[in-house]
Structure 1
């Protein structure tokens, strides 16, 4: 994607290091940081400098490359993989990428692993970009079909959290169809959930849509159902951190409530995911390990003060406690379709991809 007329990926290798966009500084600062150690990659994933299932998969791949530079023995490689997997439990791409790196590197002579790791990590990153571009084209067809009824109609799409290019290496998942439709001249408008508690919608989705010139409006998380009741949402497209083989969708907390509202109002609800996000080993969403994050993410909110300074303020009483599950599961019965790089599948058909 382009930022201030310059093309960027979210993560890329440099000389014995990895550069990444620090997403905790957006939308008010665009900062690129360089990580040079496995510990720094783990910190970046855990503290959400990089986030989004496809992106943390790519970050894990580069983390393996950094982690085995001093020792590439089988034991050292296994330790690096386990350290990365422990950073965040819910997004399946992370473990998928780390294990893929491990398997590929074990097939290489130990002396060649350190250099081969960079090539393997780059392949995972490039593969993600290609998958996301394909997702965009498949999803664009849904938007085009809706627009064909009235060429002058603006298609209103609601999304939750950030599943744009910032959540991937490039291209995005849920936003990929929107970018493709916008670039093709279709009239689209995006309702952007603020997505408490970390506000990835308000701070990240809105920022990247603005950079791309896509019309959008930020709404409170609780406004989506009201908009659907009044015919102001044509479809919902979200990303996912994990999809089960039966089509249950695990995504940012609050997605389930949007799916319920969409189902009640007859609004199509889609999840856009590359196939590495599908966990073929898990059938039901109830079996997914849901990450519990620091309660301070609920108790405090951060933003830009009138003088331009970044401020963090407490919004709940000091006597109160908070609970912070990071994800919820939308059951397959509420999902209209899964948009993948291979096409669009009803949840009941998803298993055909894994055969």
Structure 2
């Protein structure tokens, strides 16, 4: 799968489809984001089963699991069509918070059961999301003013990167503040190198620093992706997003989250807890005693009062109308 020509030239290299995941006769290849920016290697998955493990083990994240799942379905349809239902079910459960992946591959399988061509159905999802990213980044770009200092969190992927690229293309001078994002350091390993590759001024900071720069007036816009978003205005995103949003509200800074399709119900939010060892270590470096009891909730729930709006392909769901006067 090649990236859409309209957005391809604006995206950093690791977000182009062929560099996220690709399918061959032998299996599925996934760019191992855990090794970036120091090594560029692919994880090879001969079947959908290894893809499930790769998603669980954070080989890729954000929009990556959906692309891996689609490629796994394509490969399974070619090599073991009798396992398609089992594959779809297992892939759906591989990342509990990624309801977008679950919804999209369930729809693909449903279309297949009704007689649709499964490869065509998968390609339609790839193409539709490229259109979504283009539309959402047009909206994101419109919210960015010349001279803005923008805070993000974790790896905000296509929509944020494209928003910044389009702002720069339109002559807007911007700078981006990038928290490291422990424990996997997606900010340090993915976001900052991508922005630098795109020629956008950016600063790597530690996770505790955003409030400092807000108080100094260096940050005046906060934008992130959303692992989950709801029409009620609730956003679920990487741990650290809530504290940033609270500080943003305090300092009068609007917070926008990107979401392809906010859900209508937030009753069944499941916050994934991962291994405490991820907190006791940074990579392979031990930073705390093995006897330390460590907690690692992967995501924050950001209440609507802290959310200025949720950017979707159709427009902006406005949560906190207090920010309407500011942008």
TM-score, length-normalised on structure 1? Answer: 0.82
Tell me how far apart the structure 1 counterparts of residues 160 and 203 of structure 2 sit (CA, whole Å). Answer: 16
Picking from 56, 59, 62, the partner of 1:49 is: 59
Q: How far has the Cα of 1:121 moved from its partner?
A: 1.7
Tell me how far apart the structure 1 counterparts of residues 311 and 12 of structure 2 sit (CA, whole Å). Answer: 24
Whether the 8 Å CA contact 1:22–1:50 is kept in 2: the answer is yes
Tell me how far apart the structure 2 counterparts of residues 123 and 19 of structure 1 sit (CA, whole Å). Answer: 20
Tell me how far apart the structure 2 counterparts of residues 51 and 337 of structure 1 sit (CA, whole Å). Answer: 23
Write out per-residue CA displacement over residues 35-63 of structure 1, whole angstroms, 9 at most, x where no aligned residue: 331012112211111110x3322222222
Q: SS at the partner of 1:233?
A: coil
1:159 aligns with 2:152: yes
Q: How far has the Cα of 1:258 moved from its partner?
A: 0.5
1:345 aligns with 2:326: no
Q: Which residue of 1 aligns with 2:103?
A: 96
Q: How many residues align?
A: 310
Q: Which residue of 2 aligns with 1:318?
A: 290
Write out per-residue CA displacement over residues 217-255 of structure 1, whole angstroms, 9 at most, x where no aligned residue: 011111101111111111000111111221200000111
Could you list the runs of 5+ residues in structure 1 that have no partner in the other structure?
148-153, 165-171, 303-311, 350-355
Picking from 54, 64, 67, the partner of 1:58 is: 67
Q: Which residue of 2 aligns with 1:279?
A: 263
Q: Which residue of 1 aligns with 2:85?
A: 78
Q: How far has the Cα of 1:7 moved from its partner?
A: 9.0
Q: How far has the Cα of 1:295 moved from its partner?
A: 1.3
- What is the 5 A alignment of 1:228-239? 228-239=214-225
Q: SS at the partner of 1:49?
A: coil
- What is the 5 A alignment of 1:174-253? 174-253=160-239
Cα distance change on mapping 1:135 and 1:225 into 2, 3 Å: same
Cα distance change on mapping 1:8 and 1:189 into 2, 3 Å: farther
Q: Which residue of 2 aligns with 1:131?
A: 132
Q: SS at the partner of 2:71?
A: helix
RMSD of the alignment, in Å?
Answer: 2.2
Tell me how far apart the structure 2 counterparts of residues 130 and 18 of structure 1 sit (CA, whole Å). Answer: 24
Picking from 228, 240, 247, the partner of 1:261 is: 247
Q: Which moved more, 1:11-20 or 1:93-102?
A: 11-20
- What is the 5 A alignment of 1:1-80? 1-3=11-13, 9-15=19-25, 17-52=27-62, 54-73=63-82, 76-80=83-87
TM-score, length-normalised on structure 2? Answer: 0.88
Picking from 256, 266, 271, the partner of 1:290 is: 271
Write out per-residue CA displacement over residues 292-344 of structure 1, whole angstroms, 9 at most, x where no aligned residue: 11111111112xxxxxxxxx111111221211110011011110011122222
Tell me how far apart the structure 1 counterparts of residues 278 and 99 of structure 2 sit (CA, whole Å). Answer: 23
Whether the 8 Å CA contact 2:177–2:205 is kept in 1: the answer is yes
Tell me how far apart the structure 2 counterparts of residues 61 and 296 of structure 1 sit (CA, whole Å). Answer: 31
